[in-house]
Amino acid sequence: MRISKKWLNDYIPVKDLSDKEIDDLLSLSGTEIEETLYPWEGLKGAVQGIVAETRPHPSLARLIVCSIQLPDKTKQLVTADKTVKSGDRVLLAPPGTVLYNGKRIEAQDFAGVVSEGMLCSLEELGLENKSEYVYRITENWPEGFLEDSVFEASITSNRPDELGLLGIARELTAITKGQRPITMPETDYQTTPEEHDRQFRIAIENPEDCYRYCGLIVRDVRPIESPLWLKRALVAGGLRPISFIVDVTNFVMLETGHPVHAFDLAQLKDFCIRVRKAKEGERFVLLDGQTITTQGFECMITDGVNPLALGGIMGGERSGVSERTRDVLLEVATFNPVLIRKTRKWHNLNTDASYRFERGVDPNNNRFVIDRLAHLIQKYAEGRVTTEIIDTYPHRIENRTVLLRRTRVEKILGATYPSKAIVDNLENLGISVSETGETGVFRCSIPTGRPDLEREIDLIEEIGRIQGYEQVPTILPVVRATDRGRTAYQTFRNEIHRLALALGFNEIKPLSFADPSDFEPFGITEDHLWRSGAVSLVKPLSRDLSLLRPTLSFGLIKTLAFNFSRQCPDLKVFEIGKVFQRSEAFKEKEVFGFAQMGAENPEDYTDKRRSGFYGFKGNVEEIIHHLTASSEGLTFSSPRERDLYGAYLYPTHSAVISFNSQRIGIIGLVKKNVLSHYDIKSDVYLGEIDLNLLFSLLKGSNREWKSVQNLNYPSSRKDFSVLVPRGKEMGHVISELKRIEYVESVKITDIYKGKNIPEGFVSVTISLVLRSTESTITETQMNGVLEKVRAFLVDEKLEIREL
């Protein structure tokens, strides 16, 4: 939305504020200003002048030469407008002026006659689409008439009240604590009743779509051209001037945020307005000439016989006002925002009206809006208002009442607020506040134009916003890491998660859905329990998300395949998630799934081991050992002949995991046919453990799992290279480096031999991870470690290349 500073100043004094101050005030209150525009910046040099004389161009018959008298000099200009005559007051754009359309004016030679600029038409000023003549200044043209700052504001969807200049003015009044009071525009007009017009009726057949409809008849509207101030306001607001009646309706919409419409009264067949549901298949021609076919859900404005407008979107071509229109019916209505959004999307009709209606306009503002519109038409076009407002409002929408506690305000905002400050802030926003009789408790009546304010917390947020968030004390809450409040199972689950990360596995988070086509590549046949007992969704998002997964294996293998295809052949992944099964009843359980392919330890250059069965099995042993302080009760055995996992795990390279003689899971080598389907050219080991069962077994055996203290402070990594004689064992070096204080781990990450390396030597890169358990490691501590490392390497007669 565009906010003209000059126009805004009509309602609230902002002339003394800089553009940045206005930007800051609105932005800090939550109304983001995306940019500030200066539409007529290039026209600052344009000056008024009086035509002193005109004469024909000596050689170009289509042109005349004018002498323009300026306050301090006379200038010669050439123009094609032969209606220009002596005494005309005109606007001259001297060389260097940039017109509204971006064209730069330069002195120009017309067959030997130099024109020192251009005489401007309204088209050059951006106030008219097409001009045939030079503009003669007949109206008041105050100094700086075209100087303006226009703020491009991003209005959030929950603030429809800010989609008009009056809403922005009200916001600024509140932000400035009432120091800049708002001045409401004039709405008075004279009514000259006519008996015939008093018979006009408005009926709403679908009040769930049209909440309120106000109409007013205005006759004998003079066919005037829109005054310059009106054209300038519309252009600043991002609209183009068209004709007076259309322009004044657009002006009121930009001013109040409430769309309005004007019908040519002569085009109404019956002397009434009937609001109804559209009939399916109705063809209707809109104002822009586009023909639509209704679907039966739209809201139609009719004259009892023919459709006049697509409610809340756009008027119809037949009933639109034209240059011949003298009598009009003014419409100010309020429509269901959901219906307007649906209609707009279905017919792809994005209009200024639909933009506002689908965000929700204030139904209790209709009378003010139509009064304002009638005032302007009568004041400038001398229209006669021949009826009182015809107001059809089937189900009145009342203000919401919310109780607000001062103690709650202070608790949420963390500061003390006097009752007067609370009341003033809310009343400046148009919220009526009254005492309840209980100390510190207020009854707040929220206007229907603020649909975003529904609860006490919304009002507290408004107080904080208007008072200024910078006033809220910045006191950080004390947060202590603790397991208090977690269940025993949650602690157990978190420990499994921590152990998996410690063992070098990377967590994945796939969806809990499965594709029916996932079964086939895994060799799972129709009679397999997972397939016959698969849980189907009633309304799936798509076919590939139509089942609840019976196993985590699908997601694990797909993740490995995704990474393998992207040159990541060494990977360990895990997931803790639910699996689902249907037999007599639906069952779900939480499972720890883990898989591995490629190198056992890819970060360690010296570790050449590939993923293998016994190394993979060691992960399970490590987890159970950490949970129970021993591996007692853990056994591995061969799977039975028709094991569920036998469809895709080699029986000869698989093992059933049991704890306390109960099966809790399985591990094994994935079959080649499965890997070929996913283009994985590497051995893959996969396992699943039933966490619910393991937890109950641990709990039933009265065993407690150890929870290793979290590492609360960050580590620091340091890499260095040393020259090592070929054949030298590095095991002793690694072991001794690990003994240095603060050294958490030591790894060889690279071995290089070649250019710049002396004969008989290799360059070995060693990576140290440093960490303190008491605080973040300091630079002094780190330097101390590096000094010890340097001294040790010198003792070992190893030359340091980089440290």
pLDDT-derived band at 471, boundaries 50, 70, 90: confident
Bridge partners, 649 (sequence order): 670
CA distance linking residue 321 with residue 373, whole number of Å:
15
**pLDDT at residue 802, rounded to an integer:** 60
Tens of pLDDT, residues 182-214: 999 999 999 999 999 999 999 999 999 999 999
CA distance linking residue 54 with residue 84, whole number of Å:
8
pLDDT-derived band at 648, boundaries 50, 70, 90: very high
Can you tell me whether residue 292 is helix, strand or coil? strand
The 3-state secondary structure of 10-65, one letter per residue: CCCCCCCCCHHHHHHHHHHCCCEEEEEECCCHHHCCCEEEEEEEEEECCCCCCCEE
CA distance linking residue 148 with residue 144, whole number of Å:
8
For residue 589, pLDDT over 50 is answered with: yes
**pLDDT at residue 483, rounded to an integer:** 55
pLDDT average, residue stretch 566-579: 95
For residue 765, pLDDT over 80 is answered with: yes
Residue 370: left (phi > 0), alpha (psi -120 to 50), or beta?
A: alpha
Q: Which residue type does 143 have?
A: E
Closest Cα to residue 361, out of 455, 450, 431? Answer: 450
- DSSP for 717-728? EEEEEEEEETT-
**pLDDT at residue 141, rounded to an integer:** 76
**pLDDT at residue 145, rounded to an integer:** 84
**pLDDT at residue 708, rounded to an integer:** 46
Share of the chain above pLDDT 70, in %: 96
Tens of pLDDT, residues 125-141: 999 888 999 999 877 67
Other C-beta atoms closer than 10 Å to the C-beta of 100 total 19
For residues 254-272, b (16+ Cβ closer than 10 Å) or e, as one string?
bbbbbbbbbbbbebbeeeb
Number of Cα atoms under 13 Å in the Cβ half of residue 743? 23
Q: Determine the length of the chain.
A: 803
Domains of the chain, start order? 2-39+148-175 (3.30.56.10), 41-119 (2.40.50.140), 197-392 (3.50.40.10), 405-471 (3.30.56.10), 488-700 (3.30.930.10), 716-802 (3.30.70.380)
**pLDDT at residue 747, rounded to an integer:** 83
Residue with the larger pLDDT of the pair 586 and 233: 233
**pLDDT at residue 734, rounded to an integer:** 86
Closest Cα to residue 94, out of 111, 116, 66? Answer: 116
Helix H or strand E segment including 699 = helix 691-700
Residue with the larger pLDDT of the pair 620 and 701: 620
Tens of pLDDT, residues 51-108: 999 999 999 999 999 999 998 899 999 999 999 999 999 999 999 999 998 999 999 9
In terms of DSSP bridges, do strands 328-335 and 314-315 run parallel, antiparallel, or are they unpaired? unpaired
Other C-beta atoms closer than 10 Å to the C-beta of 440 total 15
Tens of pLDDT, residues 525-564: 998 999 988 999 988 888 889 999 999 999 999 999 999 9
**pLDDT at residue 154, rounded to an integer:** 93
CA distance linking residue 802 with residue 719, whole number of Å:
8
**Residue 656 near residue 648 (C-beta atoms within 8 A):** no
CA distance linking residue 413 with residue 404, whole number of Å:
14
Tens of pLDDT, residues 683-716: 999 999 999 999 999 886 555 555 444 456 788 8
**pLDDT at residue 629, rounded to an integer:** 66
In terms of DSSP bridges, do strands 210-219 and 384-385 run parallel, antiparallel, or are they unpaired? antiparallel
Lowest average pLDDT, out of 136-145, 385-394, 416-425, 593-602, goes to: 136-145
**Residue 533 near residue 581 (C-beta atoms within 8 A):** yes
The reply to whether the predicted model has a pTM over 0.85 is: no
Helix residue ranges, H only, 308-455: 337-347, 352-357, 366-381, 406-413, 419-428
CA angle (48 as vertex; 44, 49 as ends), nearest 5: 145
Find the largest Cα–Cα distance for the chain: 115
pLDDT average, residue stretch 589-596: 96
For residue 720, pLDDT over 90 is answered with: no
For residue 113, pLDDT over 60 is answered with: yes
